[in-house]
Chains A and B, each alone.
Chain A
Amino acid sequence: GAVVSQHPSRVICKSGTSVKIECRSLDFQATTMFWYRQFPKKSLMLMATSNEGSKATYEQGVEKDKFLINHASLTLSTLTVTSAHPEDSSFYICSASSHGVWEGREQYFGPGTRLTVT
């Protein structure tokens, strides 16, 4: 159990375009989903936290107008990188959690999306 999928796994887009990444919890209802970004040789940097049906909470320094997050249902959250630029090229990974159901508040991670902006 506790499987999280992410789509697409890789995407290449041109500078100035927008790209949407989907994160789905396949076998449980995720009350909260998290979006992380991994910079080269660095750990996972939390970008934002989203709860189903409410606005996402962004970490300091993360532009909410650039990284649009929608958590439309208990199994789906999307991250849209708007007007992407080469510096947005990175590895984006989501996780999902179901507090109160799973012991210890673990987060269950998707496989990640490699975004390359040309």
Chain B
Amino acid sequence: ILNVEQSPQSLHVQEGDSTNFTCSFPSSNFYALHWYRWETAKSPEALFVMTLNGDEKKKGRISATLNTKEGYSYLYIKGSQPEDSATYLCAPDRGSTLGRLYFGRGTQLTVWP
């Protein structure tokens, strides 16, 4: 089990606001960092898998950065929309042959219209 911290625990923003949250993880034995989005009543959905220090990935209005040396990743949402409301989970991947992931508690984002 890894010590994975996500902050803030919850976030309420107005439609159009940009927002960001943090995932902190142990920097040792790093292989990859996964971000997932989990909407209510749906299955968690993979957003990004990041492997390289300094990596930045983007999908539409959502982007993420990675710092493997200090053990953190930021997720940014530009111009939040109500459909972005979800819990965002991160999980470091240590490259085990089994591919196990240990998730943080997530950041619950609510975007108000």
Interface residues of A (CB under 8 A from B): 4, 32, 34, 36, 42-44, 46, 49, 51, 57, 59-60, 93, 95, 97, 99, 103-112
How far apart are the CA atoms of A93 and B43 in the complex, in Å?
A: 9
Among residues of A, the one whose C-beta sits closest to the C-beta of B96 is A49
How many chain-B residues does the 8 Å CB contact rule pick out? Answer: 22
- Answer whether A43 and B34 are a contact pair too, CB < 8 Å, given A32-B99, A51-B98, A111-B42: no
Min CB distance A100 to B, Å, is 10
How far apart are the CA atoms of A103 and B49 in the complex, in Å?
A: 8
Query: Which residues of B, 13-64, contact A by the 8 Å Cβ criterion?
Result: 32, 34, 36, 42-46, 49, 51
Cβ contacts under 8 Å, B34 to chain A: 104-107
Give 10 A-B pairs besides A95-B44, A108-B46, A110-B43 with Cβ atoms closer than 8 angstroms.
A36-B103, A43-B103, A44-B44, A44-B89, A104-B32, A104-B49, A105-B93, A106-B34, A106-B46, A107-B101
Name 8 interchain pairs, CB-CB below 8 A, sorted by A: A43-B106, A46-B100, A46-B102, A51-B98, A105-B34, A107-B34, A108-B43, A109-B36
Cβ contacts under 8 Å, A111 to chain B: 42-43
Among residues of A, the one whose C-beta sits closest to the C-beta of B106 is A43
Among residues of A, the one whose C-beta sits closest to the C-beta of B105 is A43
Cβ contacts under 8 Å, A112 to chain B: 43
Min CB distance B50 to A, Å, is 8
How far apart are the CA atoms of A97 and B34 in the complex, in Å?
A: 13
Cβ contacts under 8 Å, A99 to chain B: 99
Contact at B98–A59, with CB atoms within 8 Å? no
How far apart are the CA atoms of A112 and B1 in the complex, in Å?
A: 22
Contact at A32–B43, with CB atoms within 8 Å? no
